[in-house]
Structure 1
Amino acid sequence: MNNRTAAILSSITRQYIARAQPVSSASVVLDCGLEISSATIRNEMVTLENDGYIIRPHHAAGSIPSDKGYRFYVENLNYVELPIEEQRLISHMFHQVEYDLEQWLSLAVTLLSQRVQNIAIMTSPKPPSCRFKHMELVSLQEQLALAVLVLRGAVVRQQLVNFEQPVTKEELRIISDKMVKNYAGLSALQISGKKTELSLNEQKVTDCIVNLMRTEDERGSEDSYIDGLYYLMNQPEFNSGSRLASLMGLVEQRKLIEAMMENQLNEYGVQVIIGKENRAESIQNFSVVLSRYGIADEAIGTIGVVGPTRMHYGRAISATSFMSSMMSRLMSDLYGREIQSNMKKMNNN
């Protein structure tokens, strides 16, 4: 595509995103500042239509971008970060809430939806599979101890362990040390299959570890957070009752995030899926902007935006990117603090 045609397509896309009205050749002339006639613009628009970049809803109407046109527009966007004032405001708001992951997730999805004026979604961070990180056995009675298991991703699980014979605190410490030495970094399957000579008490603790980890692995899909439905309902695309009803059904049945997650996500960076590029047919009238966040190899979640294909892509990309980075930094800090705190509590006991 030559520069002039690209400028015309960019103008059509930009104006349609801003006004939600088909764009005429006269509007393109005024917007582009190109020293060419409306007739020349119209000829270029015919070429763009024939090539599948734009659509004319009605014969006498102006043009709107197709999914292919939006894709060209997104691929040629100049990335601009959120204004520094907004970054500082968001950072300040995060530091005003309690040091808690769930509160951060709720705040993040609310702030993101406000900034993009569309639906924002998040899934809570989850490790690919449980991995043993650390453990302590806390003596409660002569034959009763509390197993405190720390998994990668700052996940802590506890379970009571009943022993056949009295066990001293020193014996519990030795068992804990052996568990850490033998099982650090392993999954439940790897631990259960590991050939290690174990005493009766050590086997009981190992069984407890495996059961806790299997339960964690079998937990349902990640908790999800969603906000901003109000903004989407006020978009002109949803004046149609059928499209709005379809969207509401997806949200109420908790199918929206499931449909979004059918898309194959890149490991890093922001990904934009436009219209029929979505794998799930139920969201092929929407565009999705997604990014992963979290701690690599420890716990990963997804954050993103859902809106009509007539989305302010630049804004959505910059806001999603910033929020993803913010959550990753906070999680990294939280992970380190939780591990230190748990170890300190265990040692005090």
Structure 2
Amino acid sequence: MSEDRRLDVLRAIVEDYVHTHEPVGSRVLVERHNLGVSPATIRNDMAALEDAGYIAQPHTSAGRVPTDKGYRLFVDRLSTVKPLSAPERRAIQAFLEEAVDLDDVVDRSVRLLAQLTHQVAVVQYPSLRRSALRHLELVPVGERRLLVVIITDNGRVEQRVLELDEPVAEHVVPELRARLNATAAGKRLVDLPEPLSRMTKAFAVSEQPLVQRVIRAVEDTLAEATEERIVMAGTANLARSGTDFTGTIRPVLEALEEQVVLLRLLTEMAEDSAGVTVRIGRENEHAGLAETSIVAAGYGADDEPVARIGSLGPTRMDYAGTIASVRAVARYLSRILAQ
């Protein structure tokens, strides 16, 4: 059996099974797909695919269904990902551009992806640890309190109120604000210690304790790990595809409730690739996700995404369509955060 024909047969089985949720037989393949060979040849090809573990027969006298291994080969050999239509792309852009802040754009992105894929959408919140400082504002609040407002390059806004031992001199705050923005804007946490240390020495000795307090607030904020969280939408879509799971969807729902499970999975996928990655079935180590697949992509800067967005559903999913939707929403999300 030729390698190309085997892939064509597997592709046809995957596409039919995703569409019909019915085991696929050789006669159906001959009728629906122009494979250019006889039914007997198709049956031989299917037998070889089954022996290789790419398809399985759920019960005697039934057609075949793809295995996790079969889905993996199908995804790895996807030659084309069907693009979204121009109206779909315009709708995505218009919907996301209406967002008023970071929370709103994340919420809109996850709801939009759930609608596009009819699956569970997951967005990892932008991590401060992978963010750079865009702007810092200092606002005196009374004589002994200073509000520090930190705005990151991905749109996050964090506030810290410093309780001071001494009143703040009027000239110090504007100078400190200007020097901090000139020194730290555009830099990530790992790049800040040395330039901030040099900047501190430019102030009078009596002013340096205040400068160091503000710098410590900035560093501590950008180093926080507590913001590592995800936002989900479309969980109800799993109920509509409940027949895709053997027994019950309860293990899947329980896994989704444990945010740490999804955070770990998205982090592992980020280590695999900054682009679109796919985990299929038992490639997901958590037992509750053994009958699901997740398609995820990084968003943010091309060279170093700040987080990931993904779609999770049963292994019987439209992989090409899901990949296209995840990729499109990730790109528009990246574009908006960069503005």
CA distance in structure 2 between the partners assigned to 1:136 and 1:125 by the alignment: 21
Q: Structure 1 residue 292: deviation in Å?
A: 0.7
Q: How high is the TM-score relative to the length of structure 2?
A: 0.85
Number of matched pairs: 330
Matched residue, 2:86: 84
Matched residue, 1:331: 337
Q: 242, 267, 275: which one pairs with 2:281?
A: 275
CA distance in structure 2 between the partners assigned to 1:189 and 1:33 by the alignment: 58
Q: Which runs of at least 4 in structure 1 moved beyond 4 Å after TM superposition?
A: 129-134, 139-145, 180-184, 238-241, 296-299
CA distance in structure 1 between the partners assigned to 2:129 and 2:303 by the alignment: 8
Q: Structure 1 residue 254: deviation in Å?
A: 3.1
Q: Secondary structure at the match of 1:122?
A: strand
2:278 alignment partner AA: V
**Map 1:161-310 → 2, pairs under 5 A:** 162=164, 164=166, 167-168=169-170, 170-180=171-181, 183=184, 185=187, 187=189, 191=193, 194=197, 197=201, 199-238=205-244, 240-242=246-248, 244-261=249-266, 263-265=268-270, 266-295=272-301, 300-310=306-316
Matched residue, 1:15: 16
Tell me if structure 2 keeps the 8 A contact 1:145–1:162: yes
Q: Deviations over 1:177-200 (max 9, x none)?
A: 444455553638953994753523
1:325 alignment partner AA: R
Q: Structure 1 residue 212: deviation in Å?
A: 4.4
Tell me if structure 2 keeps the 8 A contact 1:7–1:32: no
Q: Structure 1 residue 307: deviation in Å?
A: 0.9
Q: Secondary structure at the match of 2:154?
A: coil
CA distance in structure 2 between the partners assigned to 1:188 and 1:9 by the alignment: 48
Unaligned runs of 5+ in 2: none
Change in CA separation of 1:268 and 1:37 when aligned onto 2, cut-off 3 Å: same
Q: Secondary structure at the match of 1:16?
A: helix
Q: Structure 1 residue 321: deviation in Å?
A: 0.6
- Aligned-CA RMSD value: 2.9
Unaligned runs of 5+ in 1: 334-349
Q: Structure 1 residue 203: deviation in Å?
A: 2.3
Q: Secondary structure at the match of 2:268?
A: coil
Q: Structure 1 residue 256: deviation in Å?
A: 5.0
Q: How high is the TM-score relative to the length of structure 1?
A: 0.83
Identity %: 27
Q: Deviations over 1:136-162 (max 9, x none)?
A: 444455555444444443444342453
Q: Structure 1 residue 301: deviation in Å?
A: 2.0
CA distance in structure 2 between the partners assigned to 1:268 and 1:188 by the alignment: 20
